[in-house]
Chains A and B, each alone.
Chain A
Amino acid sequence: MTVSPKVASWLQVAPMAFVFTAMVLIPLGIIFVVSFLDYNFAQVFPEIYMGSWQDALYSRLTVDLYLTVFKFLLITLTITFAIGFSLAYFLVFHVRSNGMRLALLAAAAIPFWTPGPIRMVSWVPLLGKEGLVNQALLGLGLIDAPLDWLLYSQFAVVLAYINLLTLAMLGPITHSMAKIPRSLIQAAQDQGASEWQIIREVILPLCKPGIAIGTIFICTAVLGDFFIVKIMSGGQTNTPANAIATELAAFQYPPAAAKSVMLLVVVVILVSVLLRFVDIRKELQR
């Protein structure tokens, strides 16, 4: 018994296609439909009701939520890019031995094996009112009373994002940068380019795929996060994902659905713009 190559591929990919259809695409469609339906507590009625969308689209709150999350996103992207690009440059062009390069990358990756919630608790002994940072600053006489904005604040949220997401930028940029042929750098040097000119005009443009992948990781992580922002801000700051989580906890399905579709549109627009800079499949196979 032989099957044609096309059918063989279909059979092989069928289980995966089934999971994604049943668990991602159909639920996506259902969320979309439910966002237009009427509801009361934990129940959805098959009647058209536009109220959820009016709330989501026209309320001042929505604007505030998105302003907050884009502020977080912009700060996080700027800082993780600055650190990620500089350190990728360091790892690729300054570190001489391959072993050292791998060891440094591994060292940066190891803390990520500790589960997320634990990493959130770990800030308490450092940044809390009686934490090490406050103890040190008090001890040095720099402050008179403990700083209370170190933890449970927007500062803490951004700090946690940077802590968790710098590697998501560093990894892909290092990968892109390591593929730049040394002869290209040599050629630029021979033409009398300075180190800074080489970085700006040779290395940076060639790192675009890595930067795009890192940015995708960070955009989706920050826009989709409801957990870190809740814990690190002590429940005082809200983002769109957080608003959805709150409504889900109250069984308000249609408003949560409308807000989810909005968030989905934002994420899809961002990711499809970024995907123009990189072909993920080609990137992986080289």
Chain B
Amino acid sequence: MMMTARGRPLSFYVLAGLMALLLIFLYAPMLCVYILSFQGPDGGMSFPMVGWSFHWFEVLFEGTGGHGIGDVPNSFRRSVRLAAFVSVLSTVIALSAGMAYRRKFPGSNFVFYSAIAAMVLPGIFIGFGIALTFNLMGWTINWWSSGIGAQLTWSLPFGLLIMFIVLGRFNPAYEEAATDLGANARQRFQMIILPIILPGIVGIFVSSITSSYEENARTQLNVGLGNTMPMEVTGLLTGSSTPVLFAIGTLTSLFMFALILGSVLLMGWMARRRAARSEL
């Protein structure tokens, strides 16, 4: 094994090769999407490239492609609106529930296993259940009621699990010190706990945005009028066969990369700032 051997054993090279193969397997399809989105106007959905152009991005933004791509900007707006509400709600609700789990309380297992159930049950099952409930109650399905509710069943379990990770690593000595110095509950939360777990909270926020933006199984039956982005792209998948799909792919990936990179940088900056402060 590695700790004693100076040179690399054969197994290292075999496994390194496997790692490389996995990365190729993961990246090759995505690279095809990014490259082919710059396909020339006469090119198709496969290689070779027939010239390079921004043609398919123009088609996307101007809605000039004909077959049903007119609604992409509106779908994007709907998805962003949904993600904004879902991420804020998830963060607040998960933070609050996480704080509850710092003590033992009757019913804690009930909520925890509900969360596990919400996470592991097939999404289509939960989406169907919510739609059926609204249907039988005679309520209209709407993005701000059933839509947000359906998405919360997907984002909240992850929020709660992240809170468990964050609070599991929280050193109670800081809080005890604050108590000894006479801080009340509100002060302890605002001045001690919140700053320390802030990177985790940003994590919940971002994971909620991405899970809301990408969720389809629960959302599609409950969002009411108008498509969300995943519904729109799924529709295009079956209806259209031009590189416009790849243009959408490149843009959505860029959007996600920017979002996640931004939040990672933000979390790093917060951690550094806290470290710098505690050195003083």
Q: Give 1 or 0 for each of A23-36: 1 = CB within 8 Å of chain B CB.
A: 11111101100100
From B30, B97, B122, B216, A16 is in contact (CB under 8 Å) with: B97
The stretch of B58-66, B161-169, B191-199, B266-274 that contacts the partner chain: B161-169
B45 neighbours in A (Cβ, 8 Å): 124-125, 128
Question: Cβ of A97 < 8 Å from any Cβ of B?
Answer: no
**Is the Cβ of B23 less than 8 Å from the Cβ of A108?**
yes
Interface of B (DSSP majority class):
helix
Contacts of B237 in A (CB 8 A): 117, 120-121, 231
A interface, over-half SS: helix
Bound complex: CA A216 to CA B235 (Å): 30
A9 touching B168, Cβ below 8 Å: no
**Chain A interface extent, by class:** 35 or more
The yes or no answer to A140 lying at the interface (CB within 8 A) is: no
Q: Are A125 and B46 in contact (CB under 8 A)?
A: yes
Q: A13-B96, A126-B29, A284-B164 are in contact. Are A6 and B122 (CB under 8 A)?
A: no
Complex Cα distance A224/B121, Å?
Answer: 7
Report yes or no: B3 in contact with A182, Cβ–Cβ below 8 A: yes
Contact of A87 among B22, B119, B168 (CB under 8 A): B22
Q: Is A117 within 8 A of B230, CB to CB? A: yes
In the complex the two chains form, what is the Cα distance from A76 to B254 in whole Å?
30
Q: Is the CB of A9 within 8 A of B164?
A: no
Q: B177: CB under 8 A from chain A?
A: no
Q: In whole Å, how far is B44's beta carbon from the nearest beta carbon of chain A? A: 8
Residue pair A30, B32 in contact (C-beta under 8 Å): no
Bound Cα distance A284, B164 (Å):
6
Query: Bound state CA distance, A54 and B122, in angstroms?
Result: 23
The answer to the question of A204 belonging to the interface, with a C-beta cut-off of 8 Å to chain B, is no
List residues of chain B with CB within 8 A of the CB of A26: 133
Cβ < 8 Å to A, chain B residues 103-151: 103, 105-108, 110-112, 114-126, 128-130, 132-133, 135-136, 149-150
Chain A residues with Cβ under 8 A from B257's Cβ? 113
* A143, CB-defined interface residue at 8 Å: no
New A-B contacts (6) at CB < 8 Å, excluding given A16-B160, A108-B22, A122-B249: A12-B97, A16-B156, A86-B18, A126-B28, A130-B44, A280-B116
Residues of A within 8 A of B (CB): 5-6, 8-13, 15-17, 19-28, 30-31, 34, 44, 83, 86-87, 89-90, 93-94, 96, 104, 107-108, 111, 113-126, 128, 130-132, 135, 163, 166, 182, 185-186, 189, 195, 198, 216, 220, 223-227, 231, 241, 244-245, 248, 253, 256-257, 260, 263-264, 267, 271, 280-281, 284-286
